[in-house]
Amino acid sequence: MISKRVSEMLSSRVSYPFARKYAIDVGKAINLASNESPYGPSPRVLRALKQSSARIGSYPDPRASKLKLAISRYIGVERDCVAVGNGSDEIFDLICKAFVDPGDAALIPLPTFSMYEIACLINGGMPKFIELPNFEWRTAELAREMSAVKLAFMGRPNNPTGNSISIQGLNELLGMGKLVVVDEAYVEFAGYSIAKQAPKKENLLVLRTFSKAFGLAGLRVGYAVGNPKLVEILEMIRAPFSINTLAQAAAVEALRDRRYLRKVVTAVRKERTYLRCELSNLGMRVLPSDANFLMIDVSPLKTDASKICEFLAKRNILIRNLSNFRGVGTRWVRITVGTRPQNEKLVQTLKKFKGGRK
Ligand SMILES: Cc1ncc(COP(=O)(O)O)c(C=O)c1O
């Protein structure tokens, strides 16, 4: 009964690599494993949610008109250049539904966010993986693969490496004419973007989310910016009510409270520098990052990712073991930048780990 496409995907056993569950109360733990904002949403968003709760007896606006207008002003593009989705996760799926035929290849540089692969497979596509040498972006190597694929996914900044293909490199790939999906989930922390240029390009979709800097991961709102022709296709195949009333209202208010956004971004950048410095002082190798997380080689501490994650989890601190990310290996972890007290607790606990190992 099951379709060939889904059956193939199930037999390949590819699924979202959830963080390992530890026997601890996650509510009490310091969660530095999911790249969420440790500051949560703006208080103004919480007030807007209360007000809009009176409207949940009715269906949401299927076109999300107010939200699209607010996003278009935030980016500086026309409203018809914006598509919305139930998190960017839904939009990755819509893109593959719309543009991938069975057997088409999608270029996926590794390591990266696993939803690109999952969306591609579930829609009958074939991931074409290419490993980033030393976790660095080399345009020439990516360009060589572009001719054989239908589309390419690129995190900018990329999860978990925290770095990005250069703007020159990206423009070179775009010049090859294939559809390029640039995922800017962490753009607010990075401060560079290609979204404003997307409407003028025939083959660029830029994806963004309210799950990170805006602190709305639980409400599921993402969006795509691009040429109106591409955007319209995504909107036409999206389920009409996929972004609920509360989510739409919260995202609109989050965009209005720019002061709060600036405060969060400034704090995260400051803490990123602090954490990188402290972890480097402990002897770990920390990759530079433009996002709200750091990718770290723990092998200088004569350990591996699993052991250090286990040690921290027992002390109620969750970080991400990257050994179940494709193309990473057993030495690397990813740590979300937390608040100063959270980061201090992490560093103190790692000092104990290091002390105990000597
Ligand atoms: C690179 C990247 N893109 C997209 C997402 C998911 O965004 P959303 O919550 O909007 O589905 C994540 C979440 O971790 C991510 O790391």
Q: Can you spell out the DSSP letters for 257-291?
A: -HHHHHHHHHHHHHHHHHHHHHHHHTT-EE---SS
Ligand 1 pocket: which of 112, 113, 154 to mutate (most atoms within 8 A of CB): 113
Domain endpoint, select from 222, 256, 290 = 256
Burial of 19 (0-12, 13-18, 19+ CB in 10 A): middle
Domain harbouring 25, CATH code: 3.90.1150.10
Instruction: Write down the pLDDT at residue 317.
Output: 97
Same domain, 229 and 91: yes
Per the structure, the complete domain to which residue 343 belongs is given by: 20-40+259-357
Domain endpoint, select from 206, 226, 256 = 256
Domain harbouring 222, CATH code: 3.40.640.10
- The secondary structure element, H or E, covering residue 116 is helix 115-122
110 occurs within a structural domain: yes
Atom nearest to 159 CA in ligand 1 = 1
Ligand 1 pocket, 321 CB below 6 A? no
Same domain, 60 and 127: yes
d(CA 316, CA 275): 18
Atom nearest to 89 CA in ligand 1 = 11
Same domain, 191 and 285: no
Domain endpoint, select from 226, 256, 286 = 256
Same domain, 85 and 152: yes
Same domain, 203 and 85: yes
* Domain count for the chain: 2
326 occurs within a structural domain: yes
Ligand 1 pocket, 217 CB below 6 A? yes
Q: Express each pLDDT in 281-340 by its tens digit.
A: 999 999 999 999 999 999 999 999 999 999 999 999 999 999 999 999 999 999 999 999
Would you place residue 28 in the very low, low, confident or very high pLDDT band (cuts 50, 70, 90)? confident
Same domain, 275 and 327: yes
Same domain, 27 and 62: no
- The closest of 294, 317, 259 to 160, measured between CA atoms, is 294
Whether the predicted model's global pTM rises above the 0.85 cut: yes
Would you place residue 358 in the very low, low, confident or very high pLDDT band (cuts 50, 70, 90)? very low
Name every residue whose Cβ is closer than 8 Å to that of residue 226 and which is 6 or more positions away in sequence. Answer: 81, 83, 198, 199, 201, 204, 205, 206
Atom nearest to 35 CA in ligand 1 = 14
- The closest of 21, 44, 45, 23 to 34, measured between CA atoms, is 21
Same domain, 250 and 285: no
Ligand 1 pocket, 336 CB below 6 A? no
CA–centroid distance, residue 336 to ligand 1 (Å): 13
Residue nearest to atom 2 of ligand 1 (CA): 185
14 occurs within a structural domain: no
Beta partners for 217? none
Same domain, 263 and 250: no
Q: What percent of the chain has pLDDT over 90?
A: 91
d(CA 276, CA 282): 10
263 occurs within a structural domain: yes
Average pLDDT, the chain: 95
Same domain, 233 and 86: yes
How far, rounded to the nearest angstrom, does the alpha carbon of residue 327 sit from its chain's CA centroid? 17
d(CA 346, CA 344): 5
